[in-house]
Chain A
Amino acid sequence: MTTYILKRFLQVIPVFLGATLLVYFLVFSLPGDPIAALFGDRPVNEAVAAQLRKQYNLDQPFWIQYLLYLKSIFTFDLGLDFSGRPIAAVLGEVFPVTARLAVMALIFEGFFGILFGLIAGLRKGKIFDATVLVASLIVIGIPIFVLGFVLQFFIGVQLGWAKPTVSAGASVQDLILPAIVLGLGSFAYVLRLTRTSVLENMNADYVRTATAKGLSRSRVVRVHILRNSLIPVITFLGADLGALMGGAIVTEGIFNIPGVGQRLYRAVLSGEGPTVVSIVTVLVLIYVVSNLLVDLLYAWLDPRIRYDS
């Protein structure tokens, strides 16, 4: 088990370094001048540009830039954004909002996805199964921003059940509708994954043996079918947290939520390289850490992994 943890941990490091290096390279080293781009159509003020280059270490060779950047991450001294605010403070403001949104979406997709998937799997071929299967295909097929607008328009504007846009504090109540929109795609996926997994386990030999032992149906379903079916589902859910946070950009746009996606979007539009890199780095970090946690969770769920070295 210790070997397993250590091994997973060591594998995470090159992924984190590689991903940050990739992002840093894309933002600062591809053809074109990121500082010049800042000025847009205005003439470049050389003095300001030079000062900015120095501030972001852009006058250094690429490797030095990158190493300095890594150092700034670990000291959490991310510098200032182009409007002069410390980037760390900006992140501290936007990340909690998005995290709340993503966790709510995760709870929604996990609970309903597993519940519906289990029922559909146990009643394969029945009307509930068929309905849920078609519905999940449609949900997967419709892009999130279309779904977002449709739900915002009908539930928020027409019916008035929820606020169409989120107010400044982004309270839990305000975030319910956006969280559902954000989680819908994954909900359909979790549902299908659970269903497939349940079907596979229902036909497994050990389930038949469990029935032959004289166990009640509900015990066979809970202890043998559901428990084993959850392994791939929980693995997916864990990895989805990072994806939800990175993918919140559209949902945040529709519901006007002051989160990571909104900030990243603005930084991209205005060409604020350092802010983009910082935000993406934190997202990568979240992705990598949540994947590591998933691996550990996986080992806990599936004893076969634990002893495999």
Chain B
Amino acid sequence: MNESIDIRETGSRTGRPLLEIKDLAITFATSNGDVNAVRNAHLTIMPGETVAIVGESGSGKSTTALAAIGLLPGNGRVSAGQIFFDGEDIAHASEKRMIELRGNSIGMVPQDPMSNLNPVWRIGYQVKETLKANGLPSGPEDVAKVLTEAGLPDAARRAKQYPHEFSGGMRQRALIAIGLSCQPRLLIADEPTSALDVTVQRQILDHLDKMTSELGTAVLLITHDLGLAAERADKVVVMYRGQVVEAGPSLELLRNPQHPYTKRLVNSAPSLASRRIQVAKDRGLESSDLLTSDDVVVEKSKPAEVLQIENLSKVFKLRSGFARSTDFTAVDDVSFSIKRGTTTAIVGESGSGKSTVAQMVLNLLKPTSGRIVFDGVDTSTLNTKDIFKFRRRVQPIFQDPYGSLDPMYSIFRTIEEPLRVHKIGDAASREKKVRELLDQVSLPQSTMKRYPNELSGGQRQRVAIARALALDPEVIICDEAVSALDVLVQAQVLNLLAELQSRLGLTYLFITHDLAVVRQIADHVCVMEKGKLVETGTTDDVFDSPQRDYTKALLNAIPGATLMLPPEVA
């Protein structure tokens, strides 16, 4: 321990970087030949410094980090360049040397807390074997100490539990405990919190910050979120298509992006945007890459309340043990209403009941009590025929772009299905309609011959939007419709939704966990917590003067929210 501090200090005194990646290239052998995942990457981390790599999925950010700890997948290899760790080139180090370095010199906190702990061993055992492998004392009290330091309460008892008895946040704490247990000099944190709820995310990141600064650990943070990177790191490295396109001090890079890709990223980052998309568009600030619109605003003569939710509740019977069941109230006395042509967002963390509300509004789930009034009619009173008609008017868009399209159906069949089911038009007119719909969502008409597996996530989501629009609905329920998408694609889809709304006069009910998205798209917000509606209001009111602590906590948890004001306001 003392020795390592000495080394650290010598390192910093001589100004030698702890990690230096030079001209790194990483190649994957695939069935279609070699693929270059990373080219000419370079990066420097000084002792104790936090550096973030930001990029979209497939940008090579994780691959670069994994190369630094010698954990590239079997078909990947470093094909050029060097990785210096404290002056030693480890790009082609032996496995034996890497095992020596891992744990006590280079630690790792992985991305998904659900899959990174071995489900068959107790948490304590998984901490203990780490300590033991790195030659540190590994008695029960040492294990408990490591877990306590990572912010896990009641560590001695928790150590005896299995991963599935932990919540996601607790698992991530255990993984942080493991990653830092041997006091490494460099910690690689690969999207350490992206699988967690925002409030938990903030707590965990705060704690990680505290621990690494106390220990003087340098951190290589991998993230897709520019706001988070800027908030947490001294230096940001932006990667795009396997290359480093820009690197520099966080705030400077954010305020003064030079490379066009970084500019694009800064413009689209939801956590940094603070205006509803339509406003930005009217001001002509929209990036040229984003979809443009004709600005045809359909004026509704009377903005009537198209949906009224009154005292809605849903109780599930959970089977607990043998022939017993306990009631679980997923939605508890929720009331709100939606005006025609506006967007209402329901925000909440996992388990808040927001998706259950969506299912009930879609008439896919029966409410336990309360009413849903659509266009003046209580939807629970509808008979089969009326429900069929109701379905034409209220359409969903779901979260998972890989799951929401039938993989066996061509895009044409997918978009045509609602027309066929409702027996609208003949074959020729339906094909014409499908072509129009593809135009509306800015997909080339040739897409209709393709299959979902040939499209990207964002494109699939646009197909799902086209399908939802096929029946000319009045209300669209978006259940986490953009959550699975990369930032730029997300911005593109959000713009498309905003544009369609202004052109077609659509009403949106937007279910999301991401407050940053709410700010971009919604007029009204309903905040849900544990099945209850805790706050409602216009988006501006809720964001500017939140009334409830929970809402405040949610707002504070948006990474980068306090970091800077957008240029047009500043």
A212 on interface, CB distance cutoff 8 Å? yes
Q: Do A209 and B110 have beta carbons less than 8 Å apart?
A: yes
- How far is A109 from B321 in the complex, measured between Cα atoms in Å? 37
- How far is A304 from B166 in the complex, measured between Cα atoms in Å? 12
Q: Do A214 and B104 have beta carbons less than 8 Å apart?
A: yes
A196 on interface, CB distance cutoff 8 Å? no
Residues on A with C-beta less than 8 A from B129 are 213, 215, 219, 223
Q: How many A-B residue pairs have CB under 8 A?
A: 91
Within 8 A of B (CB), among A293-309: 301-304, 307, 309
Q: Do B115 and A204 have beta carbons less than 8 Å apart?
A: yes
Stretch at the interface among B117-125, B353-361, B492-500: B117-125
B367 on interface, CB distance cutoff 8 Å? no
Beyond the given A209-B116, A224-B118, A303-B120, please list 9 additional residue pairs across the A-B interface where CB-CB is below 8 A.
Answer: A205-B116, A210-B118, A214-B101, A214-B104, A216-B133, A228-B120, A303-B162, A307-B164, A309-B319
Nearest opposing residue in chain B for A305, CB measure: B164
**Which of the residues B103, B119, B121 comes within 8 Å of A213, measured between beta carbons?**
B103
Residues on A with C-beta less than 8 A from B178 are 209, 213
Closest-CB distance, A10 to chain B (whole angstroms): 8
Contact A206 to B321, CB < 8 A, known contacts A212-B71, A213-B133: no
B42 on interface, CB distance cutoff 8 Å? no
- How far is A146 from B412 in the complex, measured between Cα atoms in Å? 53
**Which of the residues B107, B120, B121, B162 comes within 8 Å of A212, measured between beta carbons?**
B107
Q: Do B117 and A215 have beta carbons less than 8 Å apart?
A: no
Residues on A with C-beta less than 8 A from B165 are 307
Smallest CB-CB A-B distances: 7 pairs = A214-B103, A214-B102, A212-B108, A205-B115, A213-B130, A206-B118, A303-B162
18 contacts between A and B (CB under 8 A): A3-B322, A205-B111, A209-B117, A209-B175, A209-B178, A211-B71, A212-B107, A212-B179, A213-B130, A214-B101, A214-B134, A214-B182, A215-B99, A215-B129, A217-B99, A303-B119, A303-B164, A309-B320
Residues on A with C-beta less than 8 A from B99 are 214-217
Residues on B with C-beta less than 8 A from A10 are 322
Among A214, A224, A302, max chain B CB count under 10 A is at: A214
- How far is A210 from B179 in the complex, measured between Cα atoms in Å? 10
Residues on B with C-beta less than 8 A from A231 are 120
A7 on interface, CB distance cutoff 8 Å? yes
Residues on A with C-beta less than 8 A from B121 are 223, 227
Contact A228 to B118, CB < 8 A, known contacts A214-B99, A216-B99: yes
Closest-CB distance, B517 to chain A (whole angstroms): 27
Contact A7 to B69, CB < 8 A, known contacts A205-B110, A209-B116, A301-B120: no
- How far is A3 from B165 in the complex, measured between Cα atoms in Å? 17
- How far is A118 from B481 in the complex, measured between Cα atoms in Å? 43
Within 8 A of B (CB), among A215-243: 215-217, 219, 223-224, 227-228, 231
Contact string against B for A residues 1-43, beta-carbon threshold 8 Å, 1 for contact and 0 otherwise: 0010011001000000000000000000000000000000000
**Which of the residues B101, B103, B115, B134 comes within 8 Å of A206, measured between beta carbons?**
B115
Closest-CB distance, B195 to chain A (whole angstroms): 11
Nearest opposing residue in chain B for A204, CB measure: B115
- How far is A302 from B107 in the complex, measured between Cα atoms in Å? 28
Within 8 A of A (CB), among B294-328: 319-322
Q: Do A302 and B120 have beta carbons less than 8 Å apart?
A: yes
Within 8 A of A (CB), among B66-111: 69, 71, 73, 95, 99-104, 107-108, 110-111
How many residues of B are counted as interface, with CB atoms below 8 angstroms from the partner's CB atoms? 37
- How far is A123 from B110 in the complex, measured between Cα atoms in Å? 26
B112 on interface, CB distance cutoff 8 Å? yes
Closest-CB distance, B477 to chain A (whole angstroms): 32
Closest-CB distance, A7 to chain B (whole angstroms): 6
Among A7, A205, A227, A231, max chain B CB count under 10 A is at: A205
- How far is A219 from B175 in the complex, measured between Cα atoms in Å? 19
Residues of B within 8 A of A (CB): 69, 71, 73, 95, 99-104, 107-108, 110-112, 115-121, 129-130, 133-134, 162, 164-165, 175, 178-179, 182, 319-322
Contact string against B for A residues 270-295, beta-carbon threshold 8 Å, 1 for contact and 0 otherwise: 00000000000000000000000000
Closest-CB distance, A220 to chain B (whole angstroms): 10
A208 on interface, CB distance cutoff 8 Å? yes
- How far is A215 from B107 in the complex, measured between Cα atoms in Å? 12
**Which of the residues A208, A217, A304 comes within 8 Å of B162, measured between beta carbons?**
A304
- How far is A7 from B119 in the complex, measured between Cα atoms in Å? 23
Closest-CB distance, A216 to chain B (whole angstroms): 6
- How far is A171 from B429 in the complex, measured between Cα atoms in Å? 81
Q: Do A304 and B164 have beta carbons less than 8 Å apart?
A: yes
Residues on A with C-beta less than 8 A from B115 are 204-206
Contact A215 to B133, CB < 8 A, known contacts A7-B322, A205-B110, A209-B108: yes
Among B73, B119, B182, max chain A CB count under 10 A is at: B119
Residues on B with C-beta less than 8 A from A301 are 120
- How far is A203 from B72 in the complex, measured between Cα atoms in Å? 11
- How far is A132 from B319 in the complex, measured between Cα atoms in Å? 46
Residues on B with C-beta less than 8 A from A213 are 102-103, 129-130, 133-134, 178
Q: Do B120 and A227 have beta carbons less than 8 Å apart?
A: yes
Contact string against B for A residues 104-143, beta-carbon threshold 8 Å, 1 for contact and 0 otherwise: 0000000000000000000000000000000000000000
- How far is A70 from B112 in the complex, measured between Cα atoms in Å? 54
Closest-CB distance, A133 to chain B (whole angstroms): 18
Residues on A with C-beta less than 8 A from B175 are 209
Q: Do A217 and B102 have beta carbons less than 8 Å apart?
A: no
Among B104, B107, B130, max chain A CB count under 10 A is at: B130
- How far is A214 from B175 in the complex, measured between Cα atoms in Å? 14
- How far is A228 from B117 in the complex, measured between Cα atoms in Å? 12
Closest-CB distance, A156 to chain B (whole angstroms): 44
**Which of the residues B102, B119, B162 comes within 8 Å of A211, measured between beta carbons?**
B102
Q: Do A217 and B71 have beta carbons less than 8 Å apart?
A: no
Closest-CB distance, A46 to chain B (whole angstroms): 53
- How far is A209 from B117 in the complex, measured between Cα atoms in Å? 8
Residues on A with C-beta less than 8 A from B102 are 211-214
Closest-CB distance, A119 to chain B (whole angstroms): 17
Residues on B with C-beta less than 8 A from A309 are 319-322
Nearest opposing residue in chain A for B131, CB measure: A213
Q: Do B103 and A208 have beta carbons less than 8 Å apart?
A: no
Among A206, A211, A304, max chain B CB count under 10 A is at: A206
